[in-house]
Structure 1
Amino acid sequence: MRAQAPAGCAVSLCREPAEFAALADEWDRLHRACGAATPFQSHAWLHSWWLSYGTPGRLRVVLVRAEGPSGRGELIAAAPLMLVHRPLPLLVPLGGTISDYGDVLVDDARAGLALPALAHGIGRAARHAVVDLREVRPGGAAERLWESWPGPRARLADSVCMELPALPVEDLVARMPANRAQRVRAKLRKLDALGIEAHPVPPHEVAGGVDLLLRLHELQWRGRGVNVEHLRPRFRDHLVRATGAMAARGHASLTEFRMDGRPVAAGLTLRAGRLSGGYLYGADPVLRERKADVAAMLLREEARQAAGHGLAVLSLLRGSEPYKNHWRPEAVTSGRLLLARPALEPLLRLHESRARMRERAAEMVRSRLPAAREWRGRLNDWRARGTNGGPPGQAPVTAPSGPPRGG
């Protein structure tokens, strides 16, 4: 590994939560300067996540600044990481398993200077740990870091995300086969006939909007394997903080859907850079009784928002559920990027081997024991009945994703 940081920049390690909190403005500038950044790398999302899930003493945020004539220079790269000790010493991204994408941030205009310095800083921070960057979207800044990494490295496949072009729903329907398009248009007409209307939740009403979203989400999944984390107070607090701050910056939209004047559904959409994605929704079972296609309702609104903001990608985020495939999305596989110092290559290979074995075991369960998903759902329902918030912390970094957030 490089002994010194490249000339022209300064590298530091942020370990204090108060210092991380104070980075908001310059972090936001860097986030805008990194074309591959997703909403899950915004300061509002990451700092809120840390407040709900961070472990004291484990924060490890690598910062790279261009040296300026008057001391502290402009932030040109950052790696938001934390230290965990299970199953072995690892540096993992902030955001945990509730974030669909993980990445580092690099100012595209100064990548030639920033990337070597970021690699130096991460190598110094990972003196006794393997760096495990999960859920890196293809084209992410972490891919460029991995490609130029001077030490041992490995790459594995991570989750599949489904993506559509950010077009109005009429254009998305036009991409479908004629029979499918005809059925979808009929479902959209049904939604209109029911009088369902979308109403944006203003930023100052986000707390109430999140509470409504989570109540409807629990009602929608009751008895069908709810993700227990979505019922915990720490998750609610994180969504309120993050959504409020991101909505004020135009990076989040909370939408309430009403029928006959009362709320029957709510959805949270996050956006940044070129990408927009529906993160979480909840729907009253009355919509199923009225034969309303909730997925079509949500996608129409998300497509309208994405096209209206001039974005390129409408992501359906993690999971390849059948209802997503109706829209003919592209399946995009995120990467899991492992990095280490030369002295830790045996540890990296051990972690790589463990990760591959876990993935093979999970695939075997999915293919040979299809009832396992049903049993996991029943277990989650049982746990949900006893959920009281639980202790702070994050799920194991090698745990598989929970049930789909949307349906």
Structure 2
Amino acid sequence: MSEPVLRSEIIDDPAQFDTLAPHWWKLWEQSSSATPFQSPAWLVPWWRTFAPGGLATVAVWRGGDLIGLAPLYLEHGTAGSKLLPVGISLSDYLDILCVPGTEALVAAAIAEKIRSVEWSQWVLSDLPQDAAGLAMIYPDLKAGRPSLHGACPVLAIAGDETLAGCVPSRRRRQLRRARQAAARRGRTALSSARGEPQAFLDQLIRLHDARWAGRGGGVLADVAVKRFHRHSLPLLDACGLARCWLLAIDGRTVGVYYGFHHRGRAYAYLGGFDPSYAEESPGAILIGHAIEESIREGAHEFDFLRGQEAYKYGWGAVDRWTMRRVWTRN
């Protein structure tokens, strides 16, 4: 019996990009470096919302199976066209997806197809350290040396829900004081927003806006970003990737936490709190709760994602850097 035929294609039609989803999910589940940010639940809504250039995604098939996917688009500028990853700027991790063991085949197929697209520079950013995109070689393209791109502080999880095995004692004492202060303020309740993504987003947007009022607006000040999350979160919630927690005091929601959980890793993506409850540290209470829940779910890492904000290191996180690769045409 002959081997299934290998073929590749450029997907430049958004409707075709949408219809990839069932095959994309299957590939994403097999890809060793996949995170929630490479899932169709994240990247399809991103493209629908922003579409900042011309879609130029490469799909590699073996028979009827999708074995490789490079979600890319073309950004045109005065200095030439750049080939960039779909999801750039809002996504903390990006990569090419491929079935393990097919890396060389996928790389060759992608290289063949992208030659048919007019571009002067191909940039892959936010690559995790085990990214398929870091290992791929394209002999006919001029490659720059991989460079450090962004720090994602990561807490290695050990021990139990007391956090004694992973969080510094000083932060644990601060967490206890925050919980005591919240209890003095009123009756506290932590709850999951599983199954209620739009209601959760209402609270996230309200509290994020309140937190950033007068300080430049924050990421959710952009109407398009809000619209993206309105499309993406229900999909992430439906497939069990989202972790959304609410903190209420006397029935009033004063803090929210938006994160993910996948393959033994928790990701802290976004949060917000009511500034009038700053003394009770709702953000710290929610992060502590999220770490405890991630331990209960068997996580081995709690990833604070991109950015070197001081509070992340207070929890014991250590920088892990993403990488950036750039190719130019000879």
- Structure 2 Cα separation of the partners of residues 212 and 180 of structure 1: 27
Paired residues in the alignment total 324
Mapped contact 2:257–2:270 kept (Cα < 8 A): yes
Is 1:340 equivalent to 2:328 in the alignment? yes
- How much has 1:101 moved relative to structure 2? 1.6
**Identity over aligned pairs, percent:** 27
Is 1:149 equivalent to 2:146 in the alignment? no
Instruction: Report what 1:61 is aligned to.
Output: 57
Question: Against the structure 1 CA distance between its residues 26 and 273, is the aligned structure 2 distance closer, same or farther, given a 3 Å change threshold?
Answer: farther
Q: Which moved more, 1:40-49 or 1:175-184?
A: 175-184
- Structure 2 Cα separation of the partners of residues 333 and 82 of structure 1: 24
- How much has 1:285 moved relative to structure 2? 1.1
User: Counterpart of 2:57 in structure 1: which amino acid?
Assistant: V
Q: SS of the counterpart of 2:130?
A: coil
- After TM superposition, the score normalised by the length of structure 1 is 0.73
Q: Per-residue CA shift, 1:42-74, capped at 9, x if unaligned?
A: 101111011110046x011100111x3xxxx20
- Structure 2 Cα separation of the partners of residues 169 and 187 of structure 1: 20
Mapped contact 2:168–2:316 kept (Cα < 8 A): no
Instruction: Report what 1:297 is aligned to.
Output: 285
- How much has 1:128 moved relative to structure 2? 2.7
- Structure 2 Cα separation of the partners of residues 208 and 138 of structure 1: 35
- Structure 1 Cα separation of the partners of residues 285 and 182 of structure 2: 7
Is 1:51 equivalent to 2:48 in the alignment? yes
Instruction: Report what 2:308 is aligned to.
Output: 320
What is the root-mean-square deviation of aligned Cα atoms in Å?
A: 2.4
- How much has 1:107 moved relative to structure 2? 1.2
Mapped contact 1:169–1:300 kept (Cα < 8 A): no
- Structure 1 Cα separation of the partners of residues 268 and 257 of structure 2: 7
- Structure 1 Cα separation of the partners of residues 49 and 26 of structure 2: 24
Of residues 239, 245, 259, the one that matches 2:235 is: 245
Q: Per-residue CA shift, 1:278-332, capped at 9, x if unaligned?
A: 21111011221xx222332122232234334433321101111111111121101
Question: Against the structure 1 CA distance between its residues 280 and 178, is the aligned structure 2 distance closer, same or farther, given a 3 Å change threshold?
Answer: closer
Q: SS of the counterpart of 1:318?
A: coil
Q: Per-residue CA shift, 1:104-134, capped at 9, x if unaligned?
A: 111124334333323333x425543311111
Q: SS of the counterpart of 2:119?
A: coil
Of residues 75, 80, 89, the one that matches 1:88 is: 80
- How much has 1:174 moved relative to structure 2? 3.6
- Structure 1 Cα separation of the partners of residues 36 and 170 of structure 2: 35
- Structure 2 Cα separation of the partners of residues 127 and 206 of structure 1: 40
Q: Which moved more, 1:108-117 or 1:248-257?
A: 108-117
- How much has 1:191 moved relative to structure 2? 4.5
Instruction: Report what 1:24 is aligned to.
Output: 21
Question: Against the structure 1 CA distance between its residues 30 and 191, is the aligned structure 2 distance closer, same or farther, given a 3 Å change threshold?
Answer: farther
- How much has 1:75 moved relative to structure 2? 0.4
- How much has 1:261 moved relative to structure 2? 1.1
Any unmatched runs of 5+ in structure 1?
1-6, 344-407
Q: SS of the counterpart of 2:8?
A: strand
- How much has 1:178 moved relative to structure 2? 4.3
Q: Which moved more, 1:235-244 or 1:81-90?
A: 81-90
Of residues 106, 115, 136, the one that matches 1:114 is: 106
- Structure 1 Cα separation of the partners of residues 159 and 115 of structure 2: 47
Q: Per-residue CA shift, 1:14-61, capped at 9, x if unaligned?
A: 0000001011111011111112111111101111011110046x0111
- Structure 1 Cα separation of the partners of residues 257 and 108 of structure 2: 40
Q: Per-residue CA shift, 1:235-255, capped at 9, x if unaligned?
A: 111101110011000111222
Q: SS of the counterpart of 2:203?
A: helix
Q: Per-residue CA shift, 1:222-245, capped at 9, x if unaligned?
A: 122322x51232211110111001
User: Counterpart of 2:98 in structure 1: which amino acid?
Assistant: V
Question: Against the structure 1 CA distance between its residues 117 and 304, is the aligned structure 2 distance closer, same or farther, given a 3 Å change threshold?
Answer: farther
Question: Against the structure 1 CA distance between its residues 181 and 81, is the aligned structure 2 distance closer, same or farther, given a 3 Å change threshold?
Answer: same
Q: SS of the counterpart of 1:49?
A: helix
Question: Against the structure 1 CA distance between its residues 59 and 328, is the aligned structure 2 distance closer, same or farther, given a 3 Å change threshold?
Answer: same
Any unmatched runs of 5+ in structure 2?
none
Higher strand share: 2
User: Counterpart of 2:61 in structure 1: which amino acid?
Assistant: R
Of residues 203, 213, 231, the one that matches 1:222 is: 213
Mapped contact 1:41–1:102 kept (Cα < 8 A): yes
Higher helix share: 1
Question: Against the structure 1 CA distance between its residues 88 and 211, is the aligned structure 2 distance closer, same or farther, given a 3 Å change threshold?
Answer: farther
Question: Against the structure 1 CA distance between its residues 271 and 54, is the aligned structure 2 distance closer, same or farther, given a 3 Å change threshold?
Answer: farther
Q: SS of the counterpart of 1:18?
A: helix
Mapped contact 2:273–2:283 kept (Cα < 8 A): no
Q: Per-residue CA shift, 1:190-236, capped at 9, x if unaligned?
A: 44555432211233x31222122111101011122322x51232211
Q: SS of the counterpart of 1:212?
A: helix
- After TM superposition, the score normalised by the length of structure 2 is 0.89
